[in-house]
């Protein structure tokens, strides 16, 4: 089933650049949910330069009011995890934006980070939070994402955006299609290729 989740980070960035509480994230969230959005996504980065930890709490209440889901994205620092554990959103997407990164510009290195991620995912699942990992469309390593216990995968799509309109666009799209198809088969009960 396809659903529409709207990320409000750029609204928060605009609000912060004005030094006031306008535009108001709560007003935007309520309007979008009333118009049929399925859920709201918010990504408070470690420096909180756009979405802030307080925004997570505020939008959780609005999503509850509308009976919709909140997806909180972020790098699992202790401060981020404390907010997520306090709010208990419907979903938490773990992304690779460490405090030094300007933006999320790659998926997790599932070979080197899998043990760390497995522990974080277990903490979130113990609270009933659906988990998702930000991953590259690398079929060889996506099995490691499944091994971590996550419920969903969010594919990092910048390589496709960069290739759009070029001679490599079709091949790049094929990589994404293969990864998505493989993960759907696993979700539907199929075995992960190469996994024992």
> What's the pLDDT tens digit per position in 95-130?
987 666 656 667 888 888 988 999 999 999 999 999
pTM > 0.75: yes
Q: How far apart are CA 39 and CA 32, in angstroms?
A: 9
What is the model's pLDDT at position 69?
Answer: 95
Handedness of CA 180, 184, 185, 191 (dihedral sign): positive
Q: Phi and psi for 69 in degrees, rounded to 5?
A: -95, 150
Token pair 């497995």 is at which residue?
118
Tell me if 44 sits within 8 A of 51, measured CB to CB: yes
What is the model's pLDDT at position 37?
Answer: 96
Q: How far apart are CA 155 and CA 150, in angstroms?
A: 13
CA distances from 163 to 49, 125, 168 (A): 29, 36, 6
pLDDT 10s digits, 161-176: 899 999 999 999 999 8
Tell me if 25 sits within 8 A of 56, measured CB to CB: no
């Amino acid at each position: 089933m396809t659903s529409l989740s709207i990320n409000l980070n750029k609204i928060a960035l605009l609000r912060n650049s004005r030094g006031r509480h306008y535009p108001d994230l709560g007003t935007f969230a309520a309007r979008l949910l009333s118009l049929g959005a399925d859920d709201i996504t918010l990504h408070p980065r470690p420096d909180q330069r756009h979405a802030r930890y307080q925004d997570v709490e505020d939008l959780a209440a609005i999503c509850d009011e509308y009976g919709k889901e909140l997806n909180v994205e972020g790098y699992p620092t202790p401060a981020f995890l404390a907010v997520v554990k306090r709010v208990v959103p419907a979903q938490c997407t773990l992304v690779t934006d460490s405090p030094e990164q300007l933006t999320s510009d790659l998926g997790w290195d599932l070979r080197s980070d899998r043990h760390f991620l497995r522990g974080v995912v277990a903490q979130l699942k113990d609270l009933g939070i659906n988990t998702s990992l930000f991953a590259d469309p690398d079929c060889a390593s996506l099995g490691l994402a499944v091994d971590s216990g996550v419920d969903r995968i969010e594919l990092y799509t910048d390589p496709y955006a960069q290739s759009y309109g070029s001679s490599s666009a079709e091949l790049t799209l094929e990589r994404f299609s293969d990864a998505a198809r493989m993960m759907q088969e696993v979700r539907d009960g199929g075995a992960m290729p190469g996994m024992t």
